[in-house]
Structure 1
């Protein structure tokens, strides 16, 4: 994954995200969008750690991180809706969601399944119009 440097004189390292060829093909241009959001989040983290962030840079980090979080949540929610997810025990689901209680996992799944499928969940499954 690479991003354009802020200044043409900047030395830029690249971060490799290892994906199987079939994953890259399935993701198409969405992989570039996710990589850009991830890069914005990582840049924001670097700015926070160095203490050199301007207000505009913090706003860009917030925007990139929010976009990435929304898409990651959609991937999680779409995964929970998949028929195979019905075979995941509530204990395993709690562990996967980093929850202490299987009852909380059960409640979260139930709440999600009562809601309509979101546009970003459709994006995650590749079923957008």
Structure 2
């Protein structure tokens, strides 16, 4: 990622996430929401690396990281539910999920498919009502 100054007035730097225009259009305000959560998580990481952190700062970092993780998990789970995901071998699925065992990948997929689609999975697919 490259960095460019966001504003000379505030002396902040901005991380740029390269996305195609079509992706930005498809994401709409959800992309901005994810970017804000990601920024909060990165700020928390920076705080952890640079010195003493207050309980309030930690709470904000935890909340941002948790919100981001929940949405990322929903993207993964919604992807696993897609019809094309049936064509992914358990070995390839284990590799994609960073698991050592294809049996674990198979078990996780089965468990997911037994559960109803979550609200955040509907959010991930753009079908939340």
1: CA distance, partners of 2:91 / 2:10? 48
| Structure (1 or 2) with the greater strand fraction | 2
- In structure 2, the gaps of 5 or more residues are none
Coordinate RMSD, CA, aligned: 1.9
Pairing 1:39–2:39 present: yes
Q: TM-score, normalised by structure 1?
A: 0.92
1: CA distance, partners of 2:42 / 2:128? 28
Pairing 1:93–2:87 present: no
Q: Which 4+ runs in 1 deviate beyond 6 A?
A: none
Q: TM-score, normalised by structure 2?
A: 0.92
2: CA distance, partners of 1:51 / 1:118? 38
Partner of 2:107: 107
Deviations 1:68-101 (A, max 9, x none): 0000000000000000000000000000000000
Higher relative contact order (CA 8 A, sep 6+): 1
Q: Deviation of residue 65 (structure 1)?
A: 0.2
- In structure 1, the gaps of 5 or more residues are none
